[in-house]
Amino acid sequence: MAFKLPKIIDALQFGLLSPDEIRKMSVVRVITADTYDEDGTAIPSGLMDGRLGTIDPGQRCKTCGNRVGECEGHFGHIELARPIVHVGFNKKIYKILRAICRECSRILLTEEEVYENKQKILKYEKRWEQANTDLINEILKKAAKIVTCPHCQALQSKIKLEKPTTFFEEIKASKKSKVTERKKLSPSDVRDRMERISDDDCLLLGINAKHARPEWMVLTVLPVPPVAMRPSITLESSIRSEDDLTHKLVDIIRINQRLRENIEAGAPQLIVEDLWELLQYHVTTYFNNEVSGIPPARHRSGRALRTLTQRLKGKEGRFRSNLCGKRVDFSSRTVISPDPNLSINEVGVPLEISMQLTIPEKVTEWNIEELKELIMRGPASHPGANYIIRQEGLRIDLRFVKEKRNVADSLEPGFIVERHLKNGDIVLFNRQPSLHRMSIMAHKVKVMPYRTFRLNLCVCPPYNADFDGDEMNLHVPQSEEAQAEARTLMLAQEQISSPRYGGPLIGANWDYISASYLLTKKESFFSRKEAMQFIVSSGFNKDLPEPEIKEPEELWSGKQIFSLFIPEDTHYTNTAKICQKCTECLEEKCENDAYVTVRNGILKTGVIDKKAIGSQQEGSLLGRILIDQGNDVAREFLDAITKLFIRVLSYKGFTVGFWNVDIPKEAKTRIDEILDDAEKETRETIDAYRQGILERLPGRTFDETLEMKIMEILSKSRTTASDVAGEYLGMENEAVIMAKTGARGSMLNLGQMAACLGQQSVRGARIKRGFRDRTLPHFKPGALDAPSRGFVRNSFRRGLTPIEFFMHACGGREGLVDTAVRTSTSGYMQRRLIHALLDIKAEYDGTVRDANGEIIQFIYGDDGIDPAKSEHGKSVNIDAVIDRVLKTTVEE
Amino acid sequence: MSKKIDVKVEIIADTIVVGPPKLTRFEKARIIGARGLQIALGAPILIRIKKDITDPIIIAEEELMKNVLPLTVARLLPDGKYQNIPLSWLIKGV
């Protein structure tokens, strides 16, 4: 469908619809409350009048003669029997009524004040091209306080707004009398007063009389939206079901007609007023069905109607759901799962999906033969095609083509073939919440069997993805320009370095870290056969160096194998994660092999663990390679070593079990002693507190002092217990390997499993809520000792007592609640922050400007450095340069 | 509110005076995109290329690297001045 732009918009003016304008744009005055008669034709002058546009396919609009697609609908109108207050303006009406005289409708300010303020407002508008709302609010507030009109000396009365739409006047007999008489202001009275306001006074009330007269806020005519805005649906039982808006309009017309008839028949005042109020209710709920103070209008089933305001407002409203966010073609979504054999640049796409998503390829004399083959294969077998678009724009659906040969032969340059996704195509891959730019990256397609998207484990951190059921989205860029941008700017390898801190966000994780430790630790040696297998599995063909041990058999160290993959000319020095932080560092001679040195691409000393190849690590080997050798080399390195590690790990075997947290009997006795001592100490402290001989800490009450002391004693005992357990768990223990190398877990977690779980806390203090003066009925009232306040003495290995289990659940629940609350608030905070910063851009002259061209910074970040290309925020890492120069020259 | 400047003035110089001396990644993406579109529409290829490479984007990238594209980069400053820089000048800087 060709897109027509009828006019070029150069300005927008908001205003109110005047009754005349409503009548002018109306094509029919609606007077019948019914929609259709028995035989299903629309009743003329009814709510479904043919002149309001058409929604039936095939039918022509009675106004413009167009069919469904072309006719955008036409407004009708309802003449209201009596004026009705528009709920959306109740506050504004209230403010104006308070600021004007009840007799002469002039603003309650002296002529001088009027003149002065007028000048101010005009000046402000000229300068800033917007209204001075602060000044206008001040004027309104000031005028509301005046008791006698400066123009006609009439005594003013207080106006009250009873929400949502009723106005009252509290009339005093004289200036001094305290007795007030409460009188209702009908919408007619309100409209009368506002009609008398002069255009000049409107300016002071914050209204531009050219576009919005104040009396237009009280309706006399109601526009009826075209049927296209409120289509009726036909159910299978051929019963018509009307839109909520139509229902509401039916109510309005019905009451309006009743009101008119009653007025004309001269019915008593009381009846007329009742009907008037009912009409006001219907019109109010027509605009907004969630006004406070009145019950929402309901459907027969009891469901609240979705009227005008509800259509626009909120997350599911027109703005946030249909205008800011739209559903797109050429996209798909499914569950993700890991595949270590993929490159970080690749994404595994299920065959079924790849046959649905297409890329339009123009037929040229170069690719015509290839595309003919695709057409011959058709939409049902993989590298095929779904559609052909001929030069004149005719679309051929290949699903319904009988003789594919004929279509393929008719192919000529200028046609477009929508072919299936195939290996090497570029696609965008995304996981919500899209918090930063690495949440959407470009990947190359790899078509695979089964039904999940596959991705390399190293790209989990930027997406924050795991495989417990996460789903991700995939989008296919259609134009060559979009594909080129995706490939050069968004490809995963271009995003390895995080712009948050100059270091890799994509890197090895979890099992890769364990495997790298097992491979590169001192005592690991491999035979020729083993070494060869590891290297081949990485997908590279490299020659083995001279073996480190030649007799009695040839053995290669893990470090040698790993070194094969480090790019040449790489120099790196750092401590490993397993470093014990000794007071005096032995550097290269470190006993734990925790001092990592890489000289010219050879790993000389140290083990490779999280600090060298992990994601989100500053100053890592991976980061060094990334900055010195570029994205391509870093990606190749990462892809190769991860495949290598997978092979190493499955060859060596690696598992964690109950035995990993099992400690010898003597350790258990030592831990018990520690905990007994701690409990004894707490009891003594409590005794001291009870006797009042506890020494108070500065700035604390006795209660606080006691709590602090106990917390300190207990947490110290847990730490020592954990340390004792740690002594018996060595580096041959898999769980310890994971904790120490940074693969998963920590020594604290291990201590909780092996030694003692420790104090459970709610709101940062020991658990104290529950029953009166105690946490559970198992304790004496007023008990303060360790077990009664949530100290868990047992370890996970030994098992928790029911009471301990309960206490642990208390602490666990708090954690869950906290995460739920934190994500929602921080998410909203981030949304607002990004909204404020979204259009700023660095220009060619180096300045940072917003969309209006206003300068935010003279040079980006005050130093002009792209953090993603920096060395952890700095332009040069001087230590690395010195290290490289010194260490390399000495050796030569 | 600042007004947008419509008048554009060309800066004529023998060296690159606007922006960095090398091709930015955004310019690179823009050029590959434009050239890729030409190739996809059937334009003749300016370099020798292996038979099995058919993706227009890859070919365009290759052409850019070989410095055979007769394109000009117009770098526009926020004040309306701009410089037309031959692509070859920018490639030399890389």
- Per residue, the 3-state secondary structure of A188-214, as one string, reads HHHHHHHHCCCHHHHHHCCCCCCCCCH
Residue A888 has pLDDT above 70, yes or no: no
A239-256 pLDDT, tens per residue?
778 889 999 999 999 999
Torsion sign across C-alpha atoms A350, A353, A355, A360: negative
Q: To probe the interface with B, which of A367, A480, A855 has the most B CB atoms within 10 Å?
A: A480
CB-nearest partner of B32 from A370, A488, A854: A488
**B44 in contact with A, Cβ within 8 Å:** no
Of A37-46, A338-347, A428-437, give the lowest mean pLDDT range.
A37-46
Beta carbons within 8 Å of A568's beta carbon, 6+ residues apart: A600, A601
∠ Cα B56 B57 B61 (to 5°) = 115
**What pLDDT score was predicted for residue A5?**
65
Contact A185, A167 (CB under 8 A): yes
**What pLDDT score was predicted for residue B8?**
83
Quote the CA–CA distance of A125 and A117 in Å, as a whole number. 12
Region A402-418 average pLDDT: 88
Beta carbons within 8 Å of A625's beta carbon, 6+ residues apart: A566, A567, A570, A633, A634, A637
Residue A168: strand, helix, or coil: strand
- Phi, psi (rounded to 5 degrees) for A79: -85, 115
- On average, the pLDDT of chain A sits at 88
Contacts from A464-472 at CB under 8 Å and sequence distance 24+?
Answer: A464/A431, A464/A435, A464/A439, A465/A336, A465/A431, A467/A336, A467/A337, A467/A338, A469/A335, A470/A335, A470/A336, A470/A431, A471/A333, A471/A334, A471/A335, A471/A336, A472/A333, A472/A334, A472/A336, A472/A429, A472/A430, A472/A431
DSSP letter string, A857-883: ESSGGGTT--GGGSBTTBS--HHHHHH
Cα A198 to Cα A109, A214, A871: the distances in Å are: 14, 10, 67
CB-nearest partner of A843 from B4, B32, B77: B77
Contact A687, A823 (CB under 8 A): no
∠ Cα A424 A429 A430 (to 5°) = 175
Is there a contact between A487 and B26 if contact means CB atoms under 8 Å apart? Answer: no
Contact A350, A453 (CB under 8 A): yes
Is there a contact between B41 and A847 if contact means CB atoms under 8 Å apart? Answer: no
B75-93 pLDDT, tens per residue?
999 888 899 999 888 886 5
Residue A285: strand, helix, or coil: helix
Nearest Cα of chain B lies from the Cα of A414 at a distance, in angstroms, of: 8
Which residue bears the tokens 């081949």? A536
Name the pTM for this structure: 0.78
Cα A181 to Cα A149, A170, A286, A531: the distances in Å are: 20, 5, 33, 101
Output DSSP code: residue A59: P
A148-204 pLDDT, tens per residue?
888 888 888 888 888 788 899 888 777 777 777 888 889 999 999 999 998 888 988
Output DSSP code: residue A487: I
**What pLDDT score was predicted for residue A3?**
59
**What pLDDT score was predicted for residue A402?**
84
- Phi, psi (rounded to 5 degrees) for A737: -55, -45
CB-nearest partner of A849 from B18, B54, B78: B78
Give, rounded to a whole angstrom, the gap between the first and last alpha carbons of chain A. Answer: 72
A-B C-beta contacts closer than 8 Å? 75
Cα A671 to Cα A169, A373, A407, A697, A836: the distances in Å are: 80, 74, 82, 30, 55
**What pLDDT score was predicted for residue B4?**
55
CB-nearest partner of A362 from B30, B33, B41: B41
CB contact residues (below 8 A), chain B span 6-35, against chain A:
18-19, 25-26, 28-30, 32-34
A49 versus A889: the higher-pLDDT residue is A49
* Residue A811: closest CA among A800, A825, A798: A800
B23-52 pLDDT, tens per residue?
999 999 999 999 999 999 988 888 888 888
**What pLDDT score was predicted for residue A127?**
87
**B74 in contact with A, Cβ within 8 Å:** no
Contact A807, A714 (CB under 8 A): no
Quote the CA–CA distance of A743 and A645 in Å, as a whole number. 13
A85-107 pLDDT, tens per residue?
999 999 999 999 999 998 888 88
Residues of B in contact with A631 (CB under 8 A): none
Nearest Cα of chain B lies from the Cα of A458 at a distance, in angstroms, of: 24
Residues of A in contact with B29 (CB under 8 A): 484-485, 487-489
Is there a contact between A849 and B75 if contact means CB atoms under 8 Å apart? Answer: no
**What pLDDT score was predicted for residue A1?**
46
**What pLDDT score was predicted for residue A609?**
87
Output DSSP code: residue A394: -
**B64 in contact with A, Cβ within 8 Å:** no
Is there a contact between A844 and B25 if contact means CB atoms under 8 Å apart? Answer: no
Residues of A in contact with B30 (CB under 8 A): 481, 485
Contact B74, B41 (CB under 8 A): no
A498-555 pLDDT, tens per residue?
888 888 999 888 899 999 999 988 888 898 888 888 888 887 777 888 888 888 888 8
Q: What residues of A are in the B interface, CB distance below 8 Å?
A: 129, 361-362, 364-367, 370, 413, 424, 426, 479-485, 487-489, 494, 843-845, 847, 849, 852-854
Is there a contact between A484 and B32 if contact means CB atoms under 8 Å apart? Answer: yes
Contact A633, A712 (CB under 8 A): no
Element (H or E) spanning A492, and its range? none
A604-643 pLDDT, tens per residue?
888 888 888 888 888 888 888 988 888 999 999 999 988 9
Residue B2 has pLDDT above 50, yes or no: no
Is there a contact between A482 and B26 if contact means CB atoms under 8 Å apart? Answer: no
**What pLDDT score was predicted for residue A889?**
58
**What pLDDT score was predicted for residue A840?**
92
Residue A892 has pLDDT above 70, yes or no: no
Residue A83 has pLDDT above 90, yes or no: yes
Cα A877 to Cα A614, A632, A870, B83: the distances in Å are: 19, 21, 9, 35
**What pLDDT score was predicted for residue B1?**
45
**B77 in contact with A, Cβ within 8 Å:** yes
**What pLDDT score was predicted for residue A131?**
83
**What pLDDT score was predicted for residue A826?**
86
Quote the CA–CA distance of A812 and B57 in Å, as a whole number. 53
**What pLDDT score was predicted for residue A55?**
75
- Phi, psi (rounded to 5 degrees) for A820: -60, -45
Helix pair angle (A90-99, A133-144), 10° resolution: 60
Residue A58 has pLDDT above 80, yes or no: no
| Number of other CB atoms surrounding residue A141 within 10 Å | 12
Please report the ipTM that was assigned to this predicted complex: 0.91
